[in-house]
Structures are given as C-alpha cells and as structure tokens.
Amino acid sequence: MYSYYNENTILYYNGEFLKATEAKIDLYGQSLHYGYAVFEGIRAYKTASGEVKIFKAKEHFDRFKRSCELIHMPYDFNNEELIAACYKVLN
C-alpha cells in the first residue's frame, strides 16, 4: 500500500516542525466533518544557481489569507513567518 508520507516526512503544524507520524488531528473538527477549510497549492523549484524559490510566495499567502477571511475562518498567522517556514522546510 502506498503511503502519502513516511517516517522522515516533516510537517509545520501550529508553529512547530514535527514528524508526520506524530501529528494528531481532531476527528470531530469542522474541517473534517463539514469541509470548513481552505486549500491552496504552492509551487517551488530550483533555480539555475541551485537555490530553491517559491513561486509568488507573497501572492500565495495573501490569497490564502483572503480565502480564510471570505469564509470567516480565523487567520492567526503572519505571512512572512509562513514564507520563512516554507523555505526552512524546502532547504
């Protein structure tokens, strides 16, 4: 059976990095039961110099924040911190 993650997969969850195998979710949460969630895709790539670059990171997180606002979902994040966390995961 194929698994989406393995014992080496790292997540950024509630401001901390942790192994995916250690992450816990609320089985009775609004997102799981009622689809009360926001989803955004984000793309990153290596440049010719070998540096990792997130494609339009600021625009991505601005759009993510706006989507949360539209459904009145609390957005208690700082976009610059999220961008920095993404780069930390990618590097």
Contact present, 41 and 64 (Cβ < 8 Å) = no
Local structure of 90: helix, strand or coil:
helix
State pTM to two decimals: 0.75
Residue with tokens 């993404």: 86
Task: Dump the DSSP string for 7-76.
Answer: TT-EEEETTEEEEGGG----TT-HHHHH---------EEE-TTS-EEETTHHHHHHHHHHHHHHTT----
Residues 12-56 pLDDT 10s: 888 888 998 898 888 888 888 888 899 888 999 999 999 999 999
